[in-house]
């Protein structure tokens, strides 16, 4: 690929800042890609929305975001949206769509005790898609599930400079830890893209013997696959440029700017999404 060719363009989309955990893995594997990071903060959180409302919202927002950033590949960096809306999204847009879904399969393969934890949003925990993943890939495992919107909120605050205390996290995980087989759990799936942003803090609470598994690396590899299919080479270009798009303005966006700079994002824009 000639060095002056344009970098491959990716759209990485989530309700909030969670997709930045996926962006980090993409940037590690594919440093030459230009990324538009989009947060539908006007409709945050997704994990508690009804299915019909969420499908309609994701469709409307993606439509506008794709028109705005003309990506080569779209990453729906949100388990709550992907476990519900992927078939619908793939039917509506012609760009390759990479979805993020709970890493049940690698967790079940890795677990020796066959007791695994599943930490996600209430929406993802309840989805038939997630139940099917468990039935298909972890039929021999006891899966201890916990849906938490509070943990999503804490991850948002963390990226704005507020780290949760170990007691807060312990409290939050206590329903999972109260399970009769919790002491055998050796693998914990972080099935919300917000949660890897608190990986160190969560690891400190569950202890060093529990492996925390997320989907980030696999997603980055899937993006690389699509770029190769499209004849675009993610690492060839040396001058990618990144931007962040938000669907609502406000001080919460400003408070994210230091964290966004760590991802090479200084261009921050707000795009209005109509409600019809
Ligand atoms: N980061 C998202 C996920 O992976 C959604 C969090 C939310 O908006 O509730 O599920």
Question: Quick one: average pLDDT of 173-187?
Answer: 98
What pLDDT does residue 237 have?
Answer: 64
Q: Which two tokens stand for residue 96?
A: 């390759």
Pick the atom of ligand 1 nearest to 77's CA.
4
CA-wise closest residue to 145 among 131, 125, 129: 125
Q: Which two tokens stand for residue 44?
A: 């945050």
Query: 128-165: b or e for each residue (b if 16 or more CB lie within 10 Å)?
Result: ebbeebbeebbeebbbbbbbbbebbebbbbbbbeeebe
Is it the case that residue 234 has pLDDT exceeding 60? no
Question: What's the rounded Cα separation, in Å, for the pair 182 and 179?
Answer: 5
Q: How confident is the model over 128-147, as pLDDT tens digits? A: 999 999 999 999 999 999 99
- 150 C-alpha to center of ligand 1: Å? 11
- List 33, 78, 141, 237, catalytic entry: 78
Domains and CATH numbers, the chain: 9-100+216-270 (3.40.50.1860), 104-213 (3.40.50.1860)
Is it the case that residue 273 has pLDDT exceeding 90? no
What pLDDT does residue 276 have?
Answer: 56
Mutation probe of ligand 1 site: the residue of 18, 51, 149 with most atoms within 8 A of C-beta? 18
Pick the atom of ligand 1 nearest to 194's CA.
1
- 47 C-alpha to center of ligand 1: Å? 5
What is the model's pTM?
Answer: 0.95
What pLDDT does residue 1 have?
Answer: 47
Which residue ranges have their beta carbon within 6 Å of ligand 1? 14-16, 18, 44-47, 78-80, 121, 124, 149, 152, 192-194
Q: Are 140 and 114 in contact (CB under 8 A)?
A: yes
Q: How confident is the model over 36-60, as pLDDT tens digits? A: 999 999 999 999 999 999 999 999 9
DSSP string for 117-173: EEEE-HHHHH-HHHHHHHHHH-TTSEEEEEE-HHHHHHHHHHHTT-PPPHHHHHHHH
Q: How confident is the model over 247-272, as pLDDT tens digits? A: 999 999 999 999 999 999 999 999 98
- List 33, 141, 192, 237, catalytic entry: 192
């Amino acid at each position: 690929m000639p060095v002056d060719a344009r970098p491959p363009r990716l759209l990485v989309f989530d309700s909030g800042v969670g997709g930045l955990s996926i962006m980090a893995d993409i940037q590690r594997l594919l440093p030459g890609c230009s990324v538009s990071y989009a947060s539908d903060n006007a409709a945050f959180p997704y994990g508690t929305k009804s299915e019909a409302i969420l499908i309609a919202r994701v469709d409307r927002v993606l439509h506008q975001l794709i028109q705005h950033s003309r990506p080569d590949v779209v990453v729906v960096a949100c388990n709550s949206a992907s476990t519900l809306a992927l078939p619908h999204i793939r039917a509506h847009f012609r760009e390759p769509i990479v979805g993020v879904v709970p890493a049940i399969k690698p967790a079940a393969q890795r677990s020796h005790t066959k007791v695994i934890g599943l930490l996600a949003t209430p929406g993802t925990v309840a989805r038939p898609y997630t139940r099917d993943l468990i039935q298909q890939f972890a039929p021999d495992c006891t899966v201890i599930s916990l849906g938490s919107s509070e943990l999503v909120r804490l991850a948002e605050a963390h990226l704005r400079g507020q780290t949760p205390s170990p007691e807060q996290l312990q409290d939050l995980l206590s329903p999972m830890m109260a399970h009769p087989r919790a002491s055998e759990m050796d693998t914990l799936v972080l099935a919300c893209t917000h949660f890897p942003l608190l990986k160190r803090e969560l690891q400190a609470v569950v202890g060093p013997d529990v492996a925390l598994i997320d989907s980030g690396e696999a997603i980055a590899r899937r993006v690389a696959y699509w770029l190769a299919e499209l004849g675009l080479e993610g690492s060839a270009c040396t001058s990618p440029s990144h931007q962040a798009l938000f669907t609502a303005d406000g001080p919460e966006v400003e408070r994210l700017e230091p964290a966004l700079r760590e991802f090479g994002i200084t261009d921050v824009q707000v795009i209005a999404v109509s409600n019809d």
